[in-house]
Structure 1
Amino acid sequence: MEFKSYELDPDAFPYSNEEKTKKYGIPNEKKQEMINQMRSHAEEIGLTINFENLEETSTFNAHRLVKYAEKQGKESDVIESII
């Protein structure tokens, strides 16, 4: 399997609910509806998502780590430990 790196939001940092609403243009009620839907879909396949403890951060260093691991022949191991 071949993995490709793609950083979704290079400027990511922890946003408050108000900042998220402004950035994405999604009212809190709609956001909560979307979260509930994602949680429901995850539960259908046996996953539990705890959005309350979710911390948004940059994935830049994770991408760097995976690329380094790839050179060491350990890419799959590192990716498995991250997800």
Structure 2
Amino acid sequence: MTGNFFGETWDRIKSFTVPKPERNAQILCGICNCFFFGIGTIVAGIIENNLPDVAIGVLQLCVPFVGWVWSVIWGILMILDK
């Protein structure tokens, strides 16, 4: 199970697979991600009950500059529904 968690998390990062909760929540989480890096991804992961998305949000939050850029890209992709 642990190997699957890390594998799924890595696959989501490589393929730019962002969380996709209900559309309004997705837009709010995307906007939140642009201003409070990682928080939108964490919230979307909790809404979807998806632990890899929560872990990605924590990584975005913990890695200073790179995490912020990554989080903004993730937020834009959430808003664009990609």
TM-score by length of 2: 0.26
TM-score by length of 1: 0.26
Larger helix proportion of the pair: 2
